[in-house]
Amino acid sequence: MRFELSEDQALLRSSTRDFCQRELPIDKTRVVMEQSKDGYEPGMWRSFADMGYLGLLLPESVGGQVLGAIELAVVMEEMGRVCVPGPYLDAVLAASVLATAGGHEQLLAEIVSGRKLVVLARDDSPYRGNRAEPTRFSDGRVRGTKYFVPFGARADALLVVTSDGLVLVDAPGNMTALETMDQGQRFVAVALDHPATFVGPLSLLERIDQIGAVGAAAMLLGVMDRTLEITLDYVRTREAFGRPIGAFQVLQHRMADMLLRAESSRSAVYRGAWCCDTRVVETALACASAKAYAGDAARYVCGQAIQLHGGIGFTWELDLHFFFKRAKTLEQRYGATEAQLENALAAAGY
């Protein structure tokens, strides 16, 4: 038994950390998140392709790296530490579905090289009294409305989840931007009545959802880790009542709890990733648990980080709010907590 990463995985971690610090420091990406129409720069996507991130899970035949969920977790964790914007996990998951379905070699090669973006369009839950009908596929057309499609405005094609299976549709022009609080995660709503091609049954999503849950939980872990570091630095130097505030026991215990949640998330994320790669029976339970736990944990850690900074913690100028917002977005995506609790209960047979 061994919990540590393998040599190659550790190398991937250090190269990704270097890459993120060099190319995507948060003082640079925050400007992009604030100012760009799309939330991220095309240049970032090209460098992801160069680093091999876009084909991480894909076969060699399409230029992929043939790696697994542990490597994905490593990359996601590092990206979480700098709060990387953009549809990285969405692209990885959509590509995996296409690869598992078989065929699509040409499209996959274009995804791996960063020339095309395909994302999953799955959410048809209404949020404002506009009751959506389930999306259907028949006679070669997909019909319905999808909400909160990640980075739909930049996508070349959507992999749409319908009651009749998964279908691929060229990205239509009529999208409505849904601007949310996390500027690094952009969404659209899209009304579909378009020609589409069938990709495969919904069962293709089962494994992808587990990998997605672990990937998102890993980014949450990176978010927590970095937020805790920032907070520790702050409480060591900020003084009140003649001493560093980090000397106050009540804050020490708060930070002990933050660490407990971050480290427990780490155990759960990497166990979940290992389970995905090893395909053991406890995979479903381990992945659901990692995501449900990390979602709650990150909300706590990021919220307390703001609290421990006092007034400055509430400013736009400080980076904390990017992490806080990302934590909330991720908590609700890739299987929100409520859905993961149901997944866990089902996996345990309760």
Residue whose tokens read 């393998």: 6
Residue whose tokens read 């043939």: 66
Of 294, 295, 32, nearest to 185 (Cα)?
32
- The reply on whether position 345 binds another protein by CB under 8 A is yes
- The reply on whether position 18 binds another protein by CB under 8 A is no
- The reply on whether position 198 binds another protein by CB under 8 A is no
The separation between CA 32 and the C-alpha centre of its own chain, rounded to angstroms, equals 19
- The reply on whether position 264 binds another protein by CB under 8 A is yes
Residues 162 and 201: their CA atoms lie apart, in Å, by: 9
Which residue of 109, 230, 247, 336 would you call a contact of another protein, by CB under 8 A?
247
- The reply on whether position 5 binds another protein by CB under 8 A is yes
Residues from 22 through 81 that contact another protein (CB under 8 A)? 70
Cβ 265 to another protein shortest distance, Å? 8
Which residue of 8, 43, 236, 315 would you call a contact of another protein, by CB under 8 A?
236
Which residue of 57, 75, 159, 285 would you call a contact of another protein, by CB under 8 A?
285
Residues 151 and 317: their CA atoms lie apart, in Å, by: 25
Of 202, 193, 208, nearest to 57 (Cα)?
208
Q: Which stretch binds another protein (CB under 8 A): 3-11, 54-62, 109-117, 119-127?
A: 3-11
Residues 104 and 324: their CA atoms lie apart, in Å, by: 37
Residues 208 and 117: their CA atoms lie apart, in Å, by: 17
- The reply on whether position 292 binds another protein by CB under 8 A is yes
Which residue of 51, 191, 336, 341 would you call a contact of another protein, by CB under 8 A?
341
Which residue of 59, 244, 318, 332 would you call a contact of another protein, by CB under 8 A?
244
- The reply on whether position 336 binds another protein by CB under 8 A is no
Residue whose tokens read 């009304």: 191
Residue pair 113/64 in contact (Cβ under 8 Å)? The answer is no
Of 190, 170, 189, 209, nearest to 92 (Cα)?
209
List Cβ neighbours of 109 (8 Å cut-off, separation of 6 or more).
62, 63
Positions that interact with another protein (CB under 8 A):
1-6, 9, 70, 232, 235-236, 243-244, 246-249, 252-253, 255-257, 259-260, 263-268, 270-272, 274-275, 278, 280, 285-286, 288-290, 292-293, 338, 340-342, 344-345, 348, 350
